[in-house]
């Protein structure tokens, strides 16, 4: 069973934005897509770029280093859907955002 870690308040990440949070010592990219929160590994599969610092367009984030694109809902790479970032379960309790570790 996953342990959930409080990482932010819902107001900390506005719709259409992302940020890097730390879950048990590991960087995780947290995104707000139209009021729903998603979390994926912060490390791009291409060359380790910081996914959480990328541009979010609807549910697609673009790695700021070399432009690889991922669906933040599934972690799937758009060019090669078999390549996936690790995803994390997100729970909201009141105004607090929790990510499963």
Domains and their CATH numbers in the chain = 4-100 (2.102.10.10)
Quick one: CA dihedral 9, 10, 14, 20, positive or negative?
positive
Tens-binned pLDDT, residue by residue, of the chain (101 aa): 679 999 999 999 999 999 999 999 999 999 999 999 999 999 999 988 999 999 999 999 999 999 999 999 999 999 998 999 999 999 999 999 999 98
What is the structure's pLDDT at 2?
A: 75
What is the structure's pLDDT at 94?
A: 97
Measured distance CA(40)–CA(81) in Å, rounded: 15
């Amino acid at each position: 069973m996953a342990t959930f870690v409080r990482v932010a308040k819902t107001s900390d990440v506005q719709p259409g934005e992302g940020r890097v949070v730390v879950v048990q010592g590991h960087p995780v990219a947290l995104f707000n897509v139209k009021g729903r929160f998603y979390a994926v590994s912060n490390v791009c599969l291409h060359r380790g770029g910081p996914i959480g610092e990328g541009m979010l367009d609807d549910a697609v984030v673009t790695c700021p280093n070399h432009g690889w694109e991922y669906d933040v809902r599934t972690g799937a790479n758009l060019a090669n859907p078999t390549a996936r970032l690790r995803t994390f379960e997100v729970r909201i309790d009141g105004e607090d955002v929790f990510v499963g570790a």
